[in-house]
């Protein structure tokens, strides 16, 4: 009973998620090794809240997004959306749930079909929902466009007529057309101009307040994440290194990787320059590390134990977890 | 205006691009100067003309469709815009070098690192192959690439993004230039790698006493490295000053708006300020001040008259007469940054 009420609060729970990709070599394409793109990732997203997933490029953030959308099948682990394990569902059973989980992609230039008008792109979702062509569908379309701050006339225009920010608004309208409760935002503002980014961030926030949406916000920009997210998970080479409420993570970062990441944020306030902890360049073959901590070789507090043991994800405070035995002991 | 130690001075540069009946005024009369051993940042959004300004310094604007419509670029007593191709080649890569944004596309995938750095040197210097190799190794060492001797035979795809950018910097350093133009060199990199590259540029500048023209849209990076800053909008310089003046006492509504719209932890829970509207199309710029349709302080005259540069003293200039007048009017309070 208790777990059920917990499920209600948590819109999404990801447990021990794993996805390995094979590396094939040679004439017979024999499997020569595995890229551990996502390795033992767990997190939860509360109803109406935003989880920020940060990390460098290639750390597996987007693979996590694709697993949640069931565009990829996980090798192990559970993805529980509103109490239903979507990993066990067949494609047919998944279909009604697909409406509930939507995605906004990074590049608004590549993610809209250039041969479809804005209206057609957004209506595609409505058509799948079963809303027949006619007055009702048109009303809904106009409402969606208004919601993202576009005029109803833009429905008849093509993507190339819009700027990047407007296109991202269209992508958001398209994602919202099917009434989702969880929206995965995969770097939604990094392709936009600086003066436009704030507009889209405000829009995402307003929509969250109005519609009670939950977001999984994937980004490499810690400034944006620190502003927008309630909880932040820091990913490195397929594993979550640290996870904490946003304030806690910045006030009291434990993992050496989080520390260096925070110190590397370029801060737009000269004169207040803090010491930047420059990390050693990463020379290892990124994701194929065999054992031990993923951060080995770049960590300033490395010890022999780090190279041998598989490091567990330990609780160090209220909702604060860290994957570093040394940081956990402190 | 021109000091003795001015290395390069760009005056009233205009670069237009024509296609059919349209004429895009990408750079519309900008002036800036870089002194010796100074890092100058050109900041602005995409399409504001910062890259075009940099390319015209090196004479890399393709004509047609491009066209240098006016102005001059004085470098060591010569106007670069008047030089012929042969003279320009002696400067390009030799006295002024460039580091591009995307190291993967700007390195040739079918040549080794040694070939590419070697090419940059042998074009300008006549040296033997053994010496050339030593030069390459030294350059790679200078830019912090581990085990440079082994790396010489590597191809670009075998290096990480940060290492590729280091190779690009090594190529730029090859002839010990007076000025390096870095066009968004860290935009494609991760934050931790970005910190490394910025650190590298700073230390190179100190040891080699060169000047850097750094082009970026990231105000955080600007705060980190710039001595002086030029903020560009729609082909013109809207504000210029040193880093502290720009970040703590911004005088142009565009700069103020940009700074206010940056998300950060301290603004949590508050609504972000956002500049309404979008960047104007360079072919159809509004009359008067190009920023006036988006400006919260705009008055009717802004749409008619091209704004003058207003001097706030100590080399801090902003192209907004409205705020300038307000700041000198005792009845109205000092314009606060938003």
CATH number at residue A261: 3.40.50.300
Contact A297, A285 (CB under 8 A): no
Burial bucket for residue B54 (CB in 10 Å: 0-12, 13-18, 19+):
buried
Print the domain residue range for A251.
2-100+180-329
Residues 223-242 of B with CB under 8 A from A: 223-224, 226
Residue B40 parent element (H or E): strand B39-43
Q: Cβ contacts (< 8 Å) between B193 and chain A: which residues? A: 56, 281
Contact A134, A194 (CB under 8 A): no
Residues 35-74 of A with CB under 8 A from B: 56-57
Per the structure, the count of domains in chain A is 1
A138 part of a folded domain: no
Chain A nearest-CA residue for B261: A198
Cross-strand partners of A78:
A15
Q: Could you tell me the two tokens for B151?
A: 């790396």
A108 part of a folded domain: no
Q: Residue for token digits 């990480």? A: B160
The per-residue b/e assignment along B144-169, b for 16 or more CB within 10 angstroms, e otherwise, is bbeebeebbeeebeebbbbbbbbbbb
CA distance A84 to A65: 17
- Provide the H-helix boundaries in chain A: 2-9, 61-68, 91-98, 118-129, 135-147, 164-176, 194-211, 222-228, 246-251, 256-263, 304-308, 325-329
Residue B256 parent element (H or E): helix B253-260
Longest Cα–Cα distance in chain A: 69
- Please give, rounded to a whole number of angstroms, the shortest distance from the CA of B78 to a CA of chain A: 35
Residue B113 parent element (H or E): helix B113-124
A273 part of a folded domain: yes
The total of other beta-carbon atoms located within 10 Å of residue A53's CB is: 29
Is B268 part of the contact surface with chain A (CB cutoff 8 Å)? yes
Which residue from A168, A175, A204, A42 is spatially nearest to A98, judged by alpha carbons? A175
Is B39 part of the contact surface with chain A (CB cutoff 8 Å)? no
**How does residue B335 score in pLDDT terms, banded at 50, 70 and 90?**
very low
CA distance A77 to A238: 14
Q: Cβ contacts (< 8 Å) between A273 and chain B: which residues? A: 224
Cis amide bond preceding B64, omega within 30: yes
CA distance A325 to A154: 55
A40 phi, psi to nearest 5 deg: 60, 60
Q: Cβ contacts (< 8 Å) between A264 and chain B: which residues? A: 191-192, 194-195
Q: What is the pLDDT at residue A2?
A: 45
Is A90 part of the contact surface with chain B (CB cutoff 8 Å)? no
**Helix, strand, coil % over all residues of chain B, rounded to 5:** 35, 25, 40
Q: Cβ contacts (< 8 Å) between B232 and chain A: which residues? A: none
The length of chain B in residues reads 338
Contact B192, A260 (CB under 8 A): yes
CB contact under 8 A, A266 and B258: no
Which residue from A158, A150, A113, A120 is spatially nearest to A138, judged by alpha carbons? A120
Which residue from B232, B289, B250 is spatially nearest to B48, judged by alpha carbons? B232
Burial bucket for residue A231 (CB in 10 Å: 0-12, 13-18, 19+):
buried
CB contact under 8 A, B263 and A282: no
Is B244 part of the contact surface with chain A (CB cutoff 8 Å)? yes
**How does residue B1 score in pLDDT terms, banded at 50, 70 and 90?**
very low
User: Residues B185-220: pLDDT tens digits?
Assistant: 888 788 888 888 888 899 889 888 899 999 998 888
SS (H, E, C) B220-238: HHHHHHCCEEEEEECCEEE
Pairing mode of beta strands A214-219, A231-236: unpaired
User: Cβ contacts of residue B136 below 8 Å, gap of 6+?
Assistant: B113, B114, B117, B118, B121, B148, B152, B170
Q: Is the pLDDT at B337 greater than 50, yes or no?
A: no
Chain A nearest-CA residue for B255: A195
A172 part of a folded domain: no
Torsion angle (degrees, nearest 10) of CA B237, B242, B244, B247: 10
User: Residues B216-245: pLDDT tens digits?
Assistant: 988 888 988 899 999 999 999 999 999 989
Contact B220, A265 (CB under 8 A): yes
A107 part of a folded domain: no
User: Cβ contacts of residue B30 below 8 Å, gap of 6+?
Assistant: B10, B12, B13, B49, B53, B230, B232, B235, B236, B237
A250 part of a folded domain: yes
User: Cβ contacts of residue A169 below 8 Å, gap of 6+?
Assistant: A148, A149, A150, A200, A203
End-to-end alpha-carbon separation of chain B, Å?
31
CA dist list (Å): A284 to A115, A220, B160: 44, 21, 10
Burial bucket for residue A304 (CB in 10 Å: 0-12, 13-18, 19+):
exposed
A234 part of a folded domain: yes
The per-residue b/e assignment along A247-276, b for 16 or more CB within 10 angstroms, e otherwise, is ebbbeebbbbbbbbbbbbbbbbebeeeeeb
Q: Could you tell me the two tokens for A151?
A: 């005029």
Contact B232, B43 (CB under 8 A): yes
Nearest to A270 among B192, B243, B272 (CB): B243
CA distance A236 to A218: 13
Cis amide bond preceding B65, omega within 30: yes
- DSSP-derived 3-state class of residue A208: helix
What are the pLDDT tens digits along chain A (330 aa)? 445 555 558 899 999 999 998 888 888 888 888 888 898 899 999 999 999 999 888 888 889 999 999 999 999 999 999 989 988 888 888 888 888 999 999 888 888 999 999 999 999 888 887 777 888 888 999 999 999 988 888 899 999 888 888 999 999 999 999 999 999 999 998 888 888 899 999 999 999 999 999 999 999 888 899 999 999 999 998 899 999 999 999 999 999 999 988 888 877 765 555 556 666 666 555 555 567 888 888 888 888 888 888 888 999 988 999 999 988 887
A142 part of a folded domain: no
């Amino acid at each position: 009973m208790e777990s059920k009420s917990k499920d209600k609060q948590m819109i999404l729970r990801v447990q021990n998620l794993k996805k390995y990709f094979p590396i094939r070599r040679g004439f017979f394409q024999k499997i020569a090794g595995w890229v551990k793109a996502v390795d033992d990732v767990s997190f939860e997203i509360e109803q109406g809240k935003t989880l920020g997933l940060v990390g460098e490029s290639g750390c597996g953030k987007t693979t996590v997004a694709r697993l949640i959308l069931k565009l990829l099948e996980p090798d192990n682990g559970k993805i529980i959306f509103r109490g239903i394990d979507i990993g066990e569902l067949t494609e047919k059973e998944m279909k009604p749930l697909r409406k509930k989980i939507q995605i906004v992609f990074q590049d608004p230039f590549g993610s809209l079909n250039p041969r479809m008008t804005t209206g057609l792109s957004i209506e595609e979702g409505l058509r799948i929902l079963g809303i027949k062509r006619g007055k009702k569908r048109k009303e809904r379309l106009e409402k969606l466009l208004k919601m993202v701050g576009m005029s109803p006339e833009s429905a008849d225009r093509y993507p190339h007529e819009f700027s990047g920010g407007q296109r991202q608004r269209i992508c958001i309208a398209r994602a919202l057309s099917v009434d989702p409760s969880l929206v995965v935002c995969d770097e939604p503002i990094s392709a936009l101009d600086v003066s436009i980014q704030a507009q889209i961030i405000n829009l995402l926030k307003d929509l969250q307040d109005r519609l009670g949406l939950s977001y999984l916000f994937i980004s490499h920009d810690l400034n944006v994440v620190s502003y927008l997210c309630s909880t932040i998970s820091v990913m490195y080479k397929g594993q979550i290194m640290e996870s904490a409420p946003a304030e806690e993570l910045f006030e009291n970062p434990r993992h050496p990787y989080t520390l260096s990441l925070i110190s590397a944020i370029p801060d737009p306030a000269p004169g207040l320059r803090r010491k930047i902890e420059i990390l050693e360049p990463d020379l290892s073959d990124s994701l194929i590390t065999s054992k031990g901590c993923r951060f080995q070789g770049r960590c300033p507090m490395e010890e022999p134990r780090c190279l041998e043991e598989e490091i567990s994800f330990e609780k160090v405070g209220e909702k604060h977890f860290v994957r570093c035995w040394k940081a956990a002991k402190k | 205006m021109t000091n003795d130690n001015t290395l390069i001075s760009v005056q009233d540069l205009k670069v237009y691009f024509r296609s059919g009946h349209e004429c895009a005024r990408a750079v519309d009369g900008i002036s800036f100067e870089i002194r010796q051993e100074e890092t100058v940042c050109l900041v602005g959004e995409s399409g504001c003309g910062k890259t075009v300004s940099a390319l015209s310094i090196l004479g890399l604007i393709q004509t047609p469709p491009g066209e240098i419509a006016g102005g001059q670029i004085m470098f060591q007593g010569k106007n670069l815009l008047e030089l012929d191709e042969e003279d320009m080649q002696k400067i390009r890569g030799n006295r002024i070098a460039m580091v591009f944004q995307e190291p993967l596309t700007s390195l040739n995938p079918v040549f080794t690192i040694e070939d590419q750095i070697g090419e940059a040197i042998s074009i300008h210097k006549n040296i033997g192959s053994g010496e050339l190799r030593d030069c390459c190794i030294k350059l790679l060492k200078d830019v912090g690439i581990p085990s440079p001797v082994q790396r010489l035979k590597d191809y670009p795809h075998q290096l990480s993004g940060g290492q590729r950018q280091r190779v690009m910097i090594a190529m730029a350093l090859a002839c010990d230039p007076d000025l390096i133009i870095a066009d968004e060199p860290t935009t494609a990199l991760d934050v931790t790698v970005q910190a490394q590259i910025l650190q590298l540029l700073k230390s190179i500048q100190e040891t080699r006493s060169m000047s850097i023209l750094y082009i970026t849209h990231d105000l955080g990076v600007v705060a980190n490295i710039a001595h002086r800053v030029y903020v560009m909008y729609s082909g013109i310089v809207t504000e210029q000053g040193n880093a502290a003046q720009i970040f703590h006492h911004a005088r142009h509504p565009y700069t103020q708006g940009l700074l206010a719209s940056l998300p950060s932890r301290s603004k949590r829970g508050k609504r972000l300020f956002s500049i309404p509207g979008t960047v104007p199309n360079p072919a159809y710029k509004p009359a008067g001040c190009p920023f006036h349709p988006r400006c919260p302080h705009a008055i009717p005259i802004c749409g008619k008259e091209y704004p003058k540069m207003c001097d706030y003293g100590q080399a801090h200039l902003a192209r907004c007469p409205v705020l300038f007048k307000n700041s000198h009017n005792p009845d109205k309070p000092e314009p606060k940054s938003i």
